[in-house]
Amino acid sequence: MVQIILCMILAYLLGSIPSGLIIGKVFYKTDIREHGSGNLGGTNTFRTLGVKAGLAVTLADILKGTLAAYLPHIFGLDLNVLIFGIFAIIGHTYPIFAGFRGGKAVATSAGVLLCYAPLLFLTVLVVFFISLYITKYVSLSSMIAGVCAVIYAIFLKDIPLIIVVIFMATFVIYRHRANIKRIINKTEPKVKWLSRNH
């Protein structure tokens, strides 16, 4: 029981590692919370610091979700990895190392899926990029990918996965509620390098 609790805490702490804040301050002398949307995730890093920083942060956020979900295997626990993935997602969204102001959990959620169901991860990734190419909205593409993950999980008839993916998708949509309003009002920023207007 002690091991399980420690793994849950460790998963939360892994999720709490503020990749965007660290990369921004160490390599760019910039606190990305003071720029753009103020968010610590990959999207705001792309907009604030550029492609290299954005890719680094996104990859780091994915990998911390994967590593957190893999903790039961490391410690020899016979438990579903998705449980620990949830703690990483919470940590990413409400990081203890960054004043509980984190990202929107998209990349970290994807990292959890990478650990549990790699094919689902790849499917969601393809859906995300197709949606991004069509709509130019990262936020909308993230939500569409989340819904796709739910449909895929239902198709697999994997009950634990269905429950966790519904949680992930609901959480991601909730975290994007301000983006939804901006999309409706047509004030949501589009990805510049995919827009014909740039």
> What whole-number distance in Å separates Cα of residue 110 and Cα of residue 127?
12
Give the per-residue pLDDT at 57.
Answer: 95
For 120-149, how does the pLDDT look when each residue is reduced to its tens digit (9 = 90+)? Answer: 999 999 999 999 999 999 999 999 999 999
Q: Are 189 and 47 in contact (CB under 8 A)?
A: yes
Q: List, for residues 64-122, the tens digit of each pLDDT value.
A: 999 999 999 999 998 999 999 999 999 999 999 998 988 898 999 999 999 999 999 99
Alpha-carbon distances, residue 101 vs 16, 23, 79, 107, 112 (angstroms): 10, 16, 29, 16, 21
Confidence of residue 197 (pLDDT cuts 50, 70, 90): very low
Residue 93, classified by CB atoms within 10 Å of its CB into exposed (0-12), middle (13-18) or buried (19+), is buried
Distance CA 66, CA 113 (A): 7
| pLDDT score of 70 | 96
Report helix, strand or coil for 114: helix
Q: How confident is the model at residue 21 (pLDDT cuts 50, 70, 90)?
A: very high
Paired tokens of 137: 């909205």
Residues with Cβ < 8 Å from 95, sequence gap 6 or more?
Answer: 15, 16, 17, 18, 40, 101, 102
Q: Which residue has the higher pLDDT, 57 or 36?
A: 57
Q: At residue 195, does pLDDT exceed 90?
A: no
Question: Given this model, what pLDDT does residue 36 score?
Answer: 82
Q: Where are the alpha helices (DSSP H) in the chain?
A: 2-16, 19-28, 42-49, 51-74, 81-93, 106-116, 118-135, 138-156, 159-175, 177-184
pLDDT at 198: 41
Are the C-beta atoms of 175 and 104 separated by less than 8 Å?
yes
- Poorest-confidence range of 27-31, 45-49, 61-65, 190-194? 190-194
Report the residue count for the chain. 198
Tell which residue, 156, 154, 188, 39, has the closest CA to residue 107: 39
Residue ranges covered by each domain of the chain: 2-194
169-183 confidence digits (pLDDT tens): 999 999 999 999 999
Q: Looking at residue 194, what is its pLDDT?
A: 57
Q: In terms of pLDDT, which residue wins out, 191 or 149?
A: 149
The backbone region for 117, taken as left when phi is positive above 0, alpha when psi lies in -120 to 50, beta otherwise, is beta
The region, left, alpha or beta by phi > 0 then psi within -120 to 50, assigned to residue 101 is beta
User: Residue 164: what pLDDT?
Assistant: 95
